[in-house]
Amino acid sequence: MKVVITGIAGVLARGVAARLAEAGHEVIGIDRRDWSDAPPGVQVVRADIRKRPAEDVFRTQRPDALIHMATVTHLSASADVRVRVNLGGTRAVLEHCHRYGVRKALFIGRHTVYGAAPDLPLYRTEAEPPMASSTYPELADLVAADGYAGSALWQWPEIETAILRLVYILGPHARGPLASLMARPRVPVVFGFDPLFQFIHEIDAARAIALAAETPLRGVFNVTGPPPVPLTLLCRKVGAQPVPVPEPIFRHVPGRFGFAPLPAGAIEHIKYPVVVDGRAFAEATGFAHELGEVETMAQFAARRGRASL
C-alpha cells in the first residue's frame, strides 16, 4: 500500500510512518518541517499541504491511502493560522483524495472536540455531538476540521473515510497539549476540582493509527488507552507539582510564575473531564493498548529526569 502522511515530522506521525514502512508499505510524507533521518521506505516532501507541490504528490504518486495528521494543535499559533491550516488544509487534502482516486482517508483528530462542562457525561460515545466550540472556543477550528472530515463520508462515499479521535498522547517524546502542560515542574489546577484525564502512550497511539490504516474502517472512532486518572495524580506521577489556583484568578496565572501558557478557554477543560468510550474502535480493529497508565506516566517523568512525587 502507498500511504501519504501529512504532518509527518510530528512525533506521533513519525511513529506511524516507521511502523507502516516496517510492515512493507511505501510511505510518502508531506510537511513544511524536515525529517532528515527518515527511515528507509519513507520519502519526505517538504511542502505546505495547501500548496501546489502537495497536490503534485497526489497527482504523480497516486497513493492508496491518506493519513492526515497536519493540524496545528499548539495554541500559541494565531486563530487565523489555525483555521487556515486545520480547516483549509483538511479540505485541500480530502479534495485531492477525491480527485486522484485515493481509496482511503484517515483524519487524526482529538477527543477534546467533545468539550468539557459540568453537565456532560463521562465516556462520551461517537454518537454525541462535539461541544468544544462553546466550552473551549480556541478549539473551534479543530471541531470544524473534524466535522468537515466527517462530511467526506457523504460527499465522497467512494473514499473509505475514518475520523479517529485520540485521547491525549503521553510518553517519552510526545509533545501534544497534555505533554506541554506536564513538561513544567509546576502545573496550575483549579482549586477544588480534579477531573479525570485520559491519555494513551505514543507507541500505542501510533500502533492504533497504523492498524486503522490497514483495516477497513468507515466512520468516527474514539481511540483510547488505559483508564483515566485524576489530574492531580497525573501531575504527581509525572513528577510535576499541582498548584491549586482559585478560579477567579486562574486566568491570570498560566504563562506567568513559571507555569505553561494556556488559552483562556482551557479552564473548563482543567475543571471538568473529557473521557471517551473507545469500544467501537476496539471492536472494529481489534486494538488494545499495551502500555498502561503506570508505565506511560513513568516514562514521561524519566525522560525529563524527574521522579514521581
Partner 1 sequence: MWRRLLNRRIRKRVTEIALPWGPFGIDPYGIDQDYVAFAMGCIEPMYRKYFNLQTVGIEHVPASGRAMVIGNHSGGLPFDATMVLGSLFFEMEPPRLAHGMVEKMAQEWPVASPLFSRVGQLTGLPEHAIRLLEDDRVLMVFPEGVRGLGKLHSEKYELKRFGTGFARIALKTGAPIVPFGLIGMEEAYPVVSRLEPLSKILNVPYLPVPAHGVPWPKPVDLQLRFGEPIRLEGDGNESDEVIEAHVRTVMDAVAGLLAAGRAER
Shortest CB 232 distance to partner 1, Å: 9
Min. distance of Cβ 286 from partner 1 in angstroms? 21
Tell me: does residue 230 bind partner 1 (CB under 8 A): yes
The dihedral through the CA atoms of 82, 86, 91, 93 has a sign that is positive
Query: To the nearest whole angstrom, how small is the minimum distance from the Cβ of residue 229 to partner 1?
Result: 7
Binder of partner 1 out of 89, 109, 171, 226 (CB under 8 A): 226
Q: What is the sign, positive or negative, of the torsion defined by CA atoms of 147, 152, 155, 157?
A: negative
- Considering only residues 150, 171, 228, 278, which one is a binding residue for partner 1 as defined by CB under 8 A? 228
Q: Which of 3, 229, 245, 298 binds partner 1 (CB under 8 A)?
A: 229
What value, to the nearest 5°, has the Cα angle with vertex 219 and ends 296 and 178?
A: 25
Binding-residue pattern over the window 174 to 203 for partner 1, x denoting contact by CB under 8 A: ----------------xxxxxxx-------
Of 176 and 226, which CB lies nearer to partner 1 in the complex structure? 226
273 contacts partner 1 (rule: CB under 8 A): yes
Give the C-alpha separation, 126 to 276, whole Å.
Answer: 8
How distant, in Å, are the alpha carbons of 31, 53, 262 from that of 50? 11, 9, 28
The residue to which cell 519526505 is assigned: 44
Say how many residues touch partner 1, by CB under 8 A.
24
CB 72 within 8 A of CB 82: yes
Binding-residue pattern over the window 235 to 264 for partner 1, x denoting contact by CB under 8 A: ------------x-----------------
1, 184, 239, 242 from 235: Cα distances, Å = 41, 10, 6, 6
Catalog residues that contact partner 1 under the rule CB under 8 A.
118-119, 121-123, 190-196, 226-230, 233, 247, 272-273, 292-294
